[in-house]
Structure 1
Amino acid sequence: MGWRLDPESLELLGGGLSPAAESVGEFHGPAPEGFRVPDGAGNELAIAGDSFSGASRFSRELANYVPAMRSADQDIAPAKRMADVRSRDLGRNDAFLQGGIDSRKDNIVGSYFMLNAKPNSARLFGKEDTTWEDEFQEEVEELFAADAESFEAYMDASGRNTLTAMVRLAVEQHTIHGEILAAVEWLPEPGRPFATAIQMIDSDRLSTPPNMLGDASVSLGVKLNERGAPIGYFIRKAHPSEFRKPEAQKFTYVEARHKHGRRKMLHIFEQRRAAQSRGLGAMVAAIPEMKMSKQFRQIVLQNAIFNSTFAATIESDTLDPSTVFQMLGGSDATPEAVQRLLTGYMAGHYQTMGELMGGSKNLNIDGVRIPHLPPGTKLNLNGAGKGGPLGTSFEIALNRVMAAALGLSYEQFSRDYSNTNYSSARAAMSETYKGMLSIKRAVADRFASEIYRLWMEEMLNDGAITSIRRRMPSWYEGRNKEWYSACDWVGASRGQIDELKETQAAILRLNNGISTLEIENARLGQDWRKQLRQLKREQEWKDAYQVLQGEKNQDTLNALSGNKNEKEVGDE
């Protein structure tokens, strides 16, 4: 029995009518070559060929290139598990890829993912109150940092990771699996300063239960409403590989939110198509090159090791085998004995060599002791072969593909800066920075902001934030939760290649009102308020102890500020 499809669907899927089912309208896969007639054939427009060469049905190169047309989830469903498994395997066994994933985390998160609270007083109170904003910012940031970065790991339900470590884990999961999955727990335990906790979940556990496979509202373990919005998740109680555990075949349904709107699950991924319910990792497109690159390096290294060995052969026009063996220090064997030994060579090679050469004192190639042989006798050293093209353009091309998949420049991925000058390094860093900034905003910032919002909701309900005074707008009214929890995140420092040039550029931006202290300090992974407080504290100590600062070099100051010195100005 075949599938019944309308002609339009048949055309999109690349199928055709089987001759036997033509009368009943059954469709059986791709049509045989020459059976399908292109649209427009038989009229004068067909003579001109296809409007778009990429969709040509006559091109020799593309004639057999007929990809299936499926929905986003139908594309992902059969590939998801294998793509994740292969990405994980490559990430943990390939040093280049492991380094690339770590570079992603270092470029996005860094060593400390710092909250920069941005409450909107104008929206909350109807007028701007910068004094309250400053008071709220300082209190909330200090309180959140104490809770989020505590070594007690209060934010992590498993009690292992600080917030920064959790965000780094989230970025790695997004790189490999294309998605982040976490449950919001409530742990009112003694000794905890707050009950909100985040339980990271392996995305392999998110799947559709067998009894729900026929439910059209469930796709890849995610239950959707009529608009395609997620309303719940089916989570295995154990990883599917742990088949000996009964829990591996049991599922828990977790709603996306509580009735009052608080999240119960965090599922973050970057959509590439409409109606997409799950994500795929960044490495998937380059898996063939990644696998081949690793095999290529292994083969070349094996070849190099093999090439370091050598064999010695002797050629003689005048000496018989027994004499040659004796001159090399071998045992005193007669020609008949040598012949008997050589006859059994294939069956007992190592035993034969031991008998012939056991008493050798001269045959010592590593010790460079080589016997003097009569005229007409040659001693040849034969290498095993040449090494491979490690470090050549072939390997560089493979590394460029892998770097592109991870959103890194070739230099950062390969750690090869040998052919890089300042301008190209800056260009590469700028492109990488833009890519990492978008991932930071879509993945790391969102994940951390969701946790920050959950934490703040609990703190406000507990009255733990003293800058929230009586008769202030409620968190649950209108969009107030957005105005209270608005924030930015300061992640990894952008880094500097030429500190002098980039410092000059920063000073010029500040002096001309193009940038702010907040932006410039964030580029370096610092908090501008803490920086100013520290500068003030240091200046007070310098004044108190009358520390000599040394005469400031005016030329240096002018160079840094972009101003011309006085002599040049006067000459003009």
Structure 2
Amino acid sequence: MNLFDKTIAAVSPNRALKRIEARKKLKLLNQGYGDHGANTRKKSMLGWFAKSGSVLEDIEHNIPKLRERSRDLYMGAPLATGALKTIRTNVVGSGLKLNSQIDYEYLGMTLEEADAWETTVEREFNLWAESVHCDAQRMNNFYELQQLAFLGQLMSGDSFALLPVIPRPNIPYDIRVQIIESDRVCTPDKKKFNTDNKIINGVEVNFRGEVVAYHIAQNHPNSISLKRNDWTRVKKFGANTGRPNVIHLMESERPEQRRGVPILAPVIESLKQLARYSEAELMAAVVSGMYTVFIKSENPQNEQPGQYFDEYDDQIEEDDTNYELGNGAIVALGENESIQDSNPGRPNQAFDGFVTAICRQIGSALEVPYELLLKHFTASYSASRAALLEAWKMFRMRRSWLASDFCQPIYEEFLAEAVAKGRINAPGFFTDPVARKAYCTAEWNGPSQGQIDPLKEVKAAAQRVNEGFSTRTRETVELGNGDFFRNTRLRMVEERLRQEGGLIPNENSTLEEEPEPGGGEEGK
């Protein structure tokens, strides 16, 4: 009761009692989040200070620091390196392969004509994609560029690709893919202090919030160079053709976000602390393994037993002021010198359990089960399969996103060049938008999920096909990333060769075989 209520109580106790009763009712009427997550009276919530800002304050201003720390973890923390490479390997693998699937019904083709057209396009695309000439730097083919772009997006938050036209000899296509470092897309020095917020982290928007251009530095902004840095403004789409000039590969967390956040951002602190803890435990275990005997001599004139007795004795210079631990070393001390033994108690028996518990939390944030994160499968078949299925939900989502935001736009530009140069016959490609969409429809197949128990997986796939829940084409891709139609044609050739070689009976041959010489009961 405060002073005012005490004064009222002295004059009118009934009114004071009603005030206290009304105050209690107000507390009871505190409903919804106000009594839970938004409560400011509970002791557990009193020390929780959180401030909500716009995307600019919460994300954009923090991206450079997040990017630096994410890269440092990738280069120095094994768990962070393994997490990014695990996602990269399962999503991209050796590369997402083109599987043209045109809408032949709209285009007025038969199924046989569509299959022949798709085969021609895939052959032409492989001519370009499997060569390093598709790379503006002539270092990677298209499938390796997928790995580079995706890993850069995971590590730095986003990745950029330009589509310049560079003619080169002995290659019929001129379109190239140029992957650039995400740091190079930044705000020019002259426009960093503008208050209109039209250029944030190198991304320029108009009054509607639409991204219209990117500002790309000629040199890395953090590189050591005396050369003056210049910026080039590149429009996102061509003004006349609408052709994409820049492919921005990023994952958005909030509306109006312009740059991506590294996937390790929520677990940066946990990964760094875990790396420090692992290094400390490793050093303690190494020190514990070096059992060293210190001898105190009463007569300093006596010959010392020797500084080091190991295989590197002739390589170490003696230093009377420096003592080091060695494998089974005997270190002699001078007069009035002593040593206090220290037992680190390593290896720590609780190390593995603690690391596993932290890895569970990190894996949950990255959508990678800790079994897959640590490559340690010790649970039952059902538990291991459930973990893999949960991980593959994320892998498929990211694969679909990579295919639609990176592979498909590049393929459409390649196909437009192939049609313009007459290497691919596609009537109506440049005049009918629906026809162009029908020609460009494609699937992008990556590495298969793999099986814990192949026999069970194959039986389940066969059952799904028999019940009509799936197709042989889809199951062939899921189980082994193969092509059902090509497999069928190859099997026809194989079975014919086996029949001709007599390994299996021909349909026209008789079922009864002639008895071998010496056969029967008499020949035994």
Q: How far 1:530 moved relative to its partner?
A: 2.1
Decide whether aligned partners of structure 1 residues 72 and 194 sit closer, same or farther in structure 2, where only a CA change above 3 A counts: same
- Find 2:464's aligned residue among 509, 517, 527: 509
Give the direction of change, closer, same or farther, for the CA distance of 1:313–1:474 in structure 2 (3 Å limit): closer
For 1:488, the aligned partner's letter is: E
Matches within 5 A, 1:20-419: 45-46=26-27, 48-49=29-30, 51-52=32-33, 53-125=36-108, 129-150=110-131, 153-213=132-192, 214=194, 215-247=196-228, 249-258=229-238, 259-312=240-293, 384-387=343-346, 388-389=348-349, 391-417=351-377, 419=378
8 Å contact kept, 1:297–1:390: no
| Alignment partners' CA distance in 2, 1:426 and 1:348 | 61
Relative to 1, partners in 2 of residues 1:123 and 1:276: Cα closer, same or farther, differing over 3 Å? farther
Are positions 1:486 and 2:465 aligned together?
Answer: no
Matched residues in 1 for 2:288 and 2:147: separation? 42
User: Conserved in 2, the CA contact under 8 Å of 1:407 and 1:436?
Assistant: no
- Give the direction of change, closer, same or farther, for the CA distance of 1:321–1:51 in structure 2 (3 Å limit): same
What does residue range 382-461 of structure 1 map to in structure 2 within 5 Å? 384-387=343-346, 388-389=348-349, 391-417=351-377, 419-461=378-420
Which of 475, 492, 495 is equivalent to 1:520? 475
Q: Deviations over 1:275-328 (max 9, x none)?
A: 11111011100000110111111100100011112344789xxxx956xx99x9
Gaps of 5+ in 2: 1-21, 307-318, 331-338, 506-524
Counterpart for residue 13 of structure 2: none
SS of equivalent residue, structure 2 residue 213: strand
Instruction: Give the whole-Å Cα distance in 1 for the aligned partners of 2:101 and 2:305.
Output: 87
Mapped to 2, the partners of 1:77 and 1:462 lie a distance apart of 43
Q: Distance in 2 between matches of 1:350 and 1:218?
A: 57
Distance 1:432 1:367 in 2: 49
Q: Which amino acid aligns with 2:214?
A: Y
Q: Distance in 2 between matches of 1:268 and 1:239?
A: 19
1:382 is displaced (CA, Å) by 5.9
Question: 2:292 touches 2:328 (CA, 8 Å); kept in 1?
Answer: no
Q: Whole-Å Cα distance in 1 between the matches of residues 456 and 343 of structure 2?
A: 52
Aligned residues of 1:207 and 1:234 also touching (Cα < 8 A): yes
Whole-Å Cα distance in 1 between the matches of residues 366 and 28 of structure 2? 45
- Distance, in Å, in 1 between the alignment partners of 2:120 and 2:224 is 49
Q: Shift of the alpha carbon at 1:268?
A: 2.0
Partner of 2:498: 542
Contact 1:309 1:384 in 2 (8 A): no
Segment drifting more, 64-73 vs 136-145: 64-73
1:505–1:329 CA distance, 2 compared to 1 (3 A):
same
TM-superposed CA distance for 1:548, in Å, is 4.5
Write the distance in 1 (CA, Å) between the matches of 2:386 and 2:365.
18
Shift of the 123–226 alpha-carbon distance from structure 1 to 2, 3 Å rule, reads farther
Bigger drift between 428-437 and 76-85 goes to 76-85
**Structure 1, unaligned runs of 5 or more:** 1-40, 332-346, 352-364, 369-379, 550-572
Secondary structure in 1 matching 2:163: strand
Give, in angstroms, the shift of residue 222 of structure 1. Answer: 1.1
- Hey, what's the Cα distance between the residues in 2 that align with 1:459 and 1:101? 36
Aligned with 2:44: secondary structure?
Answer: coil
The DSSP-based 3-state class of the residue aligned with 1:167 is helix
Deviations 1:85-109 (A, max 9, x none): 1111111222222222221121111
**Using the alignment, how far apart are the partners of 1:415 and 1:350 within structure 2?**
43
Shift of 1:188: 1.7
Shift of 1:392: 2.2
CA RMSD of aligned residues (A): 3.1
Per-residue CA shift, 1:126-185, capped at 9, x if unaligned?
Answer: xx63233212211111221222112xx122111111111111112211211222211110
Q: Judge conservation of contact 1:167–1:444 (CA < 8 Å) in 2.
A: no
Describe the SS at the equivalent of 1:62. Answer: helix
| Conserved? CA contact 1:149–1:162, under 8 Å | yes
Aligned to 1:11: none
Cα deviations across residues 319-353 of structure 1 (Å, max 9, x unaligned)? x956xx99x9979xxxxxxxxxxxxxxx95779xx
8 A contact 2:267–2:365 mirrored in 1: yes
Deviation at 1:545, TM superposition (A): 2.0
Deviation at residue 110 of structure 1 after TM alignment: 1.6
Answer with 93-102 or 502-511: which moved more.
93-102
Q: Provide the C-alpha distance between the structure 1 equivalents of 2:61 and 2:304, rounded to a whole number of angstroms.
A: 68
The alpha-carbon deviation at position 115 of structure 1 amounts to: 0.7
Shift of 1:454: 0.9
After TM superposition, give the deviation of residue 406 of structure 1 in Å.
3.1
How many pairs does the alignment contain?
456
* Alpha-carbon distance between aligned partners in 1 of 2:56 and 2:321, rounded to the nearest angstrom: 61
- Deviation of the 1:367 alpha carbon: 11
The structure-2 alpha-carbon separation of the partners of 1:367 and 1:158, relative to structure 1 and needing over 3 Å to count, comes to: closer
Deviations 1:515-535 (A, max 9, x none): 112211111211222222221
Contact 1:109 1:444 in 2 (8 A): no
Find the residue that maps to 1:57 and give its secondary structure: coil
Q: Say whether 1:529 aligns with 2:485.
A: yes
The alpha-carbon distance between structure 1 residues 414 and 463, as it changes in their structure 2 partners (threshold 3 A), is same
SS state at 1:86 partner:
helix
Give yes or no for contact 1:110–1:493 (8 Å, CA) kept in 2.
no
**Structure 2: how far apart are the matches of 1:200 and 1:366?**
53
Q: Distance in 2 between matches of 1:385 and 1:203?
A: 45
Match for 2:405: what amino acid?
R
How far off its partner does 1:493 sit? 1.3
**1-structure distance, mates of 2:110, 2:459:** 34
Counterpart amino acid of residue 250 in structure 1? D
- Asked whether the equivalents of residues 218 and 230 of structure 2 are also in contact (C-alpha less than 8 Å), the reply is yes
CA distance in 2 between partners of 1:76 and 1:103 (Å): 26
Kept in 2: contact 1:217–1:225 (CA 8 A): yes
What amino acid sits opposite 1:170 in the alignment?
Answer: A
After superposition, give the CA deviation of every residue in 1:181-224 in whole Å (9 maximum; x if it has no partner).
11110012222220100110111111112333424322221111
Q: Which moved more, 1:128-137 or 1:249-258?
A: 128-137
Return closer, same or farther for 1:329/1:228 CA change in 2, 3 Å cut-off.
closer
In percent, how many aligned pairs have the same letter? 25
SS at match of 1:73: helix
Deviation at 1:55, TM superposition (A): 0.9
Aligned partners of 2:291 and 2:328 also within 8 Å: no
| Corresponding residue number in structure 2 for 1:334 | none
**Cα distance, 1:47 vs. partner?**
5.1
